[in-house]
Chains A and B, each alone.
Chain A
């Protein structure tokens, strides 16, 4: 099939970008979206043109590299899907596909469809850990963890750090990302010890980094490739409020 592409091109972080139109023939329905972009790039390079820069790595929806905003959806069409799992069978012959980078003040564009998501790393450094050195750990069965809590913690921990939640949120809020980490660790006895400190520090960092605030639209949950629910945001709010009213700074 033949498709038309409308792709954001931007030479570097400082340059002014614009949309570039491409047409691609011979697209196979069984191709993945990324393979389609690869074949576009292959064609562009051979024509002596600049290929489209975009990020991808594992192609198994787990590394969180891919970050394309396709036709109004972070990671394109399909529920609980990362860009690498979108296949061209989701599109029709003659379709126009608009591809944009994640848009957020905290995720500046580096080139074309590549953004700098370092803000997530900074959020993690603000408290997304348990303060334990190698060698200090007690026996893993010393602290029992109920199956329900362990499973719930896993659901939160499944976050791949891709940033689709920020991209989908009208406020560019990172609340779901923070909520997932805070909830995961607050649900486990190992993480509970510094749960309050973690909630306070991560939220403060999130605000500092220029993310917007949560207005509970639920767009993040709808677009999250791992289906992380906004009930974790309620949990974060709970943790944060309790911490604010009890923890002396």
Chain B
């Protein structure tokens, strides 16, 4: 019997969450101060969760590897945050948002969780506004909205092209307030190395102080992971260069199941790879597709300047293939369409791996001032990186690794298969199924942090009120620390010749080639072999200067890359196992005659949750069957 119990409350979909809240176990205010909670990660899920739990009266310890909680990579989200407020009187509702997410996720998400995310979406905007987040407003003073891909309503709230920053800073400021009040304690520049499990429950973490190198033990009644996604597995991605999957891997090794690891979103609008030294790819917000038109020349290898190519010789391929949604098709669809054009020789730019995103028509219609108001900072960023001016010549874009729908498997409580260990935001396998719609990441992360985890963590802690905080001198802590130290020593003692970054680059290449936008059995099997070779080489030829007792950025990188290698194996295994195409996971073997992705619902309508079985052992697959009682499962079409 599988351990997978999603613990979805009984009752009609729309009443589940209300019923949960009404009947859940509570912790009285005077007991909350006796309970300690560790939150790892301070992004758009972590900071709000930490702040909200501290506001309730729990003692919260917050960890991040950056120097400040404000630097988490949620800060880079650009376009917006969805909310089903129906501000535009265009037919939006909680159900519509729920439906869009289920459909956008290609029917691979859990109905109850998705509905709840849609339900709290409106509260998030209220909360953030109250915190002083300067959302864009109409002249009349009400919230302004924009449209995002994959939907037919305008429900995205935004703050120019820096919505993530503003939303993150809202949570950060709430956290800083709790720090000032003494309810939250901030531990920055701390890398989480392991999770301590005592009697089957998560009771603490082991961290490395990145300044002194000291290994620290921290105990609590519950641990919340808000450690984000692992898109940097591709080395070149839209993520920050330090974003990593290590916390999730630590949890996985301690017994938390990993859900749908191969569901990785490839974002269609990124600045293409410009040179071999590049260490990261820059996202150009999806909101640009509201006004920008995507095209390539109709003639193969047309090397004329874009301005010189007349309209009738341009192939607006998204508008051609998907007339109903046009340039605003979901990300996975847009990415594959661009790849298809480039693979067939119609790509533009030096490498031929780029398509145009053209604002000519929008500029002519709306004027430079309006366009600048909407996308000014994005245009400026593009110009800084490429040296080209998007007001004059079209942008060149290409898909890049972006968001991971996969993550730690959690139940309705956002609890992993380790009791007391919660995973929120992008770190969990989440509400996005096999593909995430634009402006839903901030929504889901913030929703988990502000309005879901505070309830579900309380529900768990209600049974812990008489438990004392475990001693950090217990055997489990001592052992976890010993293990963590042993790994670090192992890295340092290899004394080989290749840097961690060079291994990361190679791993990224393997993953991008075989487990990127399109996958097939042969490639995936090849990837497994290549990764195994790389792993061997890594553990025998890694070089790290310096020691473990000081600031050592190379050591930090090495431990991240080591985890990425193991995670890559897990991803490829998951991709191999899922022989259907769904959302971002496109198996070449499973497509329609028109070349579109083909789901196989009778075989793969489940969440793949992988259980760790030991070093270099095949993980064990558990299936959580997905039931769709409130939507009709259809072929996802944006035509």
Minimal beta-carbon separation of B79 from chain A (angstroms)? 13
Q: Which of B51, B73, B137, B176 contacts A145 (CB 8 A)?
A: B137
Q: Which residue of A lies closest to B172 (CB)?
A: A124
Query: What's the minimum C-beta distance from B386 to chain A, rounded to whole angstroms?
Result: 9
Find chain B residues with CB under 8 A from A133 CB.
52, 55
- The residue that B141 contacts in the complex, of A32, A34, A147, with Cβ under 8 A, is A147
Whether the pair A63, B130 counts as a contact (CB closer than 8 A) is: no
Any B CB within 8 A of the CB of A179: no
CA distance A80 to B384 in the complex (A): 10
Interface residue B240 (Cβ < 8 Å from any Cβ of A)? yes
Tell me, yes or no, whether A16 is within 8 Å of chain B by CB: no
Contact between B501 and A42, CB atoms less than 8 A apart = yes
Query: Which residues A134-191 have CB closer than 8 A to chain B?
Result: 134-141, 143-147, 150-151, 153-154, 157-158, 160-161, 184-185, 187-188, 190-191
A124 contact from B137, B176, B550, Cβ within 8 A: B176
Number of interface residues of B (CB under 8 A): 81
Measured between beta carbons, the chain A residues less than 8 angstroms from B274 are 30
Q: Which residues from 498 to 556 on chain B have a C-beta closer than 8 Å to any C-beta of chain A?
A: 499, 501-502, 543, 545-546, 550-551, 553-554
Do B551 and A53 touch (CB < 8 A)?
yes
Task: Pick the contact of B76: A38, A58, A161 (CB < 8 A).
Answer: A58
Q: Does B393 contact A (CB under 8 A)?
A: no
In the complex, are the beta carbons of A132 and B545 less than 8 A apart? Answer: no
> In whole angstroms, how far apart are the Cα atoms of A35 and B546 in the complex?
22
A23–B525 Cα gap in the complex (Å)?
A: 44
Q: In the complex, A61→B385 CA distance in Å?
A: 11
Q: Is the CB of A120 within 8 A of B550?
A: no
- B48–A134 contact, CB under 8 A? yes
Inter-chain CA distance A40–B259, complex, in Å, is: 39
Distance between Cα atoms of A110 and B209 in the complex (Å): 13
Pick from A45, A62, A130: contact of B173, CB under 8 Å: A130
Asked whether A124 lies within 8 Å of B173 as measured between CB atoms, the reply is: yes
In the bound complex, do residue B384 and residue A58 qualify as a contact, i.e. CB atoms below 8 Å apart? no
Q: Are B275 and A31 in contact (CB under 8 A)?
A: yes
Measured between C-beta atoms, what is the minimum distance from B506 to chain A in Å?
A: 14
Across-interface contacts of A28 in B (CB, < 8 A): 275, 277
Distance of A65 Cα from B241 Cα, bound (Å): 11
| Cα distance, A31 to B277, chains bound together (Å) | 7
| Nearest CB in chain B: distance from A125 CB, A | 4
Q: Which single member of A126, A134, A190 contacts B450 (CB below 8 Å)?
A: A134
Which listed residue, A53, A59, A145, A160, touches B240 by the CB 8 Å rule? A59
Question: Which residues of B (166-220) have their CB < 8 Å from a CB of A?
Answer: 166, 169, 172-174, 176-177, 179-180, 186, 188, 211
Q: How far is the CB of A80 from chain B (nearest CB, A)?
A: 7
Chain A hits for B282, CB < 8 A: 59-60
Which residue in chain B gives the minimum CB-CB distance to A11? B550
Pairs of residues from A and B, 3 with the lowest C-beta to C-beta distance, nearest first: A144-B141, A137-B130, A129-B173
Pull 23 A–B residue pairs with CB atoms less than 8 Å apart, ordered by A: A30-B275, A60-B381, A64-B68, A85-B384, A87-B385, A117-B68, A118-B68, A118-B188, A124-B176, A130-B132, A132-B174, A134-B48, A134-B55, A134-B174, A136-B130, A137-B123, A137-B126, A137-B131, A141-B142, A146-B137, A157-B166, A190-B131, A190-B132
